[in-house]
Amino acid sequence: MKARLQTSLGQQLVMTPQLRQAIRLLQMSSAELELELSEAVESNPLLEWADEAAPGEPAGEADPPPAVADAGDGHADEGMEWPGEGEQWSGGQGGSFDNDDGDASERVAEADTLADHLLWQLHLSHLSACDRAIGVALIDALDEDGYLREPLASIAETLRPDIAAGEDEILTVLHRIQRFDPAGVGARGLGECLALQLDTLPAATPGLCLARQIAAGPLERLPRAGIPGIAAELRQPAEAVEQAVQLLRTLDPRPGRQLGEVSSDTYVVPDCVVWRQRGVWKAALASHAGPRVVIHRGYEQLIRRCGDADASYLRGQLQEARWLLKGLEARGETLLRVVNSLLHHQAGFLEFGAQALRPLTLREIAAELDLHESTISRTIARKHVRTPRGTLPLRAFFASGIDTDGGGEASSTAIQSMIRRLIEAENPRKPLSDAKLADMLKSSGIPVARRTVAKYREAMNISASHERVRLV
């Protein structure tokens, strides 16, 4: 058989090394990016950390991405001054997040732990050095709920041999700590915790005296005996006991959780910061999100003076450094574009909470920004944004939707929030079943099946109705 030569035309998509590097940088989390930059600086002599560069040297050929972008048009604000980390977000619940007095991208300070908060109050108290040392030992022995579970004898043992303190001395200092904020801290049981909080209420509070009596005695029997049983035991009218029990329900059984809660800020580093200024939501890259590495100008100048072999090596390293800087710049610009788009669609979510979260998909953001869905997915993967409502993953801004009777859509997150509110407001003696919750949502214009309600309830770790029955 005679061999013949044949030619054909075809197309093939080839990813350049630069493109592969840009895609890899885009989908990295903050921790992975930090590790990647560290390895690049160690392996490439033409890269160095920005804070190590000599004063007056240019940072590199590529300008760094804008640190601040307006939420509306994405342009950088000029003349911005950014305070440090010590400032707090202004505003609280609802939509009062405006801060027109100053412009800052970093406004969330690290929350104090319970121990730090109590030690601060201890050092402000007029105590002797011995009592202060006892107070430090007591605060160190508190659990995360604010209770003192260890006996006073154990505390005395830990103080020896430096301090020989009796249980009476330790108890005196403990009573001092129990007057600290938050109210109820340092208690040795639930009854004492509630009693400490009752002591902070005005004397004219309705049901205060009877509430103290219940906290000191039959509190543990309340779930089994119910209000009628407690009323019979104390020989008080059922209405008065009901009033006292309602007062006890307003107290916090875990006062230590008010401070030092484990939040996402403790474990993740936000890539972007979001705040509201003069009614407009704005976004900025976090300080670590931009290119923090620069090209070492000393090595770059050596290329002109060294031999061919060394020059070839340095040129290769210089090219890799330039690719890395461009990839970091592209990563920051893409991330900021996506965050600004999310702000445009989900401003209600930031102002009013989960119940205002609109249905939003990757396809909508991709079409708006003229990007591929996979690019949006890589951009939001393992990325977090710091907001007045805490540090949130970018995926929290996306939600599937359910058609409503009014012709609109309700996101699954908003429906879950509605279910949670309905359960929190239910009668504890007659909890709402999944079918009843579905009927109530349907009456609100959101047709949801009973099995869907059950799925959302289980996703929120809420027990079934028969397990939520309480006598009080």
- Higher pLDDT pick, 441 / 66: 441
Cβ atoms of 111 and 263 within 8 Å: the answer is yes
Most confident of 60-74, 163-177, 448-462: 163-177
Sequence ranges of the chain with CATH classification 1.10.10.60: 401-467
Distance of alpha carbon 61 from alpha carbon 81, whole angstroms: 25
pLDDT digits (tens, 9 = 90+) for 237-275: 888 888 888 888 888 888 888 775 444 334 577 889 998
- Which whole number is the average pLDDT over 313-334? 89
Distance of alpha carbon 313 from alpha carbon 294, whole angstroms: 18
Q: Give me the pLDDT at residue 144, please.
A: 83
Contacts of 99 (CB under 8 A, 6+ apart): 89, 90, 91, 107, 275, 276, 277
- Higher pLDDT pick, 382 / 333: 333
Q: Point out the least confidently predicted range of 10-14, 18-22, 46-50.
A: 10-14
Cβ atoms of 339 and 274 within 8 Å: the answer is yes
Task: Reply yes or no on domain 401-467 having CATH 1.10.10.60.
Answer: yes
Most confident of 77-91, 196-210, 282-296: 196-210
| Secondary structure, 3-state, 192-249 | HHHHHHHHCCCCCCCCHHHHHHHHHCCCCCHHHHHHHHHHHHHCCCHHHHHHHHHHHH
Is pLDDT at 11 greater than 70 in this prediction? Answer: no
Q: Give me the pLDDT at residue 265, please.
A: 39
Cβ atoms of 50 and 293 within 8 Å: the answer is yes
Bridge pairing between strands 390-393 and 384-387 = antiparallel
Quick one: tokens of 202?
Answer: 């005005």
The string of DSSP letters for 165-202 reads --HHHHHHHHHHHTTSSSTTTT-SSHHHHHHHHHHTS-
Contacts of 274 (CB under 8 A, 6+ apart): 71, 281, 282, 283, 339, 343, 350, 385, 386, 387, 388
pLDDT digits (tens, 9 = 90+) for 175-188: 999 888 888 899 98
Distance of alpha carbon 52 from alpha carbon 29, whole angstroms: 24
Cβ atoms of 334 and 26 within 8 Å: the answer is yes
Cβ atoms of 394 and 350 within 8 Å: the answer is no
Distance of alpha carbon 273 from alpha carbon 282, whole angstroms: 8
- Which whole number is the average pLDDT over 131-143? 88
Per-residue pLDDT band at 79 (split at 50, 70, 90): very low
Per-residue pLDDT band at 95 (split at 50, 70, 90): very low
Distance of alpha carbon 135 from alpha carbon 141, whole angstroms: 10
Neighbours of 419 (CB within 10 A): 24
- Which whole number is the average pLDDT over 149-160? 85
Is pLDDT at 62 greater than 50 in this prediction? Answer: no
